Amino acid sequence: MLKCVLSLLPTPALALGLALGLAGPALAHKLKVFASAVGDWVEGRAYFAGGGGAGGVGIEVRDGQGAVLATLTPDPEGRFAYTASAPVDQVLVAISADGHQTQWTLTAAELAGGFAAAAQA
């Protein structure tokens, strides 16, 4: 029966249907996040493998023990930014609507420069 139904579909339509049906879940597994600090200012981006922005994800900023310090909403291209409140390890966790997660860690040493300048002022 399946062979009969498949033979009725044009080959390009079948290929397109399979590609679209398999692309969504596969991209969710390729969720990425990156961030860098300039002093206490942190900028980052959540994206999918291939470069497409992951604007629909949530970003949690956690300390080294896992406590949530902030919750961020990236723009449609997946970009986000915030001011760090202390020079401590910060784990940025991107969380998709279907529960997939990925993370990036900024170390206290990467943030320390912004706080050393403020302490001297």
Alpha-carbon span 44 to 36, nearest angstrom: 6
pLDDT at 39: 87
**Segment 19-32, tens digit of pLDDT:** 444 444 444 569 99
Q: For residue 117, what pLDDT is reported?
A: 56
User: Residue 121: its pLDDT value, please?
Assistant: 52
- Tokens read off for 88: 């401590």
Residue with tokens 């170390």: 107
The confidence score (pLDDT) of residue 16 equals 41
Q: How far apart are the first and last CA of the chain?
A: 78
Stated pTM of the model: 0.72
Q: Note the pLDDT tens digit of each residue in 48-96.
A: 999 999 999 999 999 989 999 999 999 999 999 999 988 999 999 999 9
Interatomic CA distance for residues 121 and 119, integer angstroms = 6
3-state SS assignment for residue 84: coil
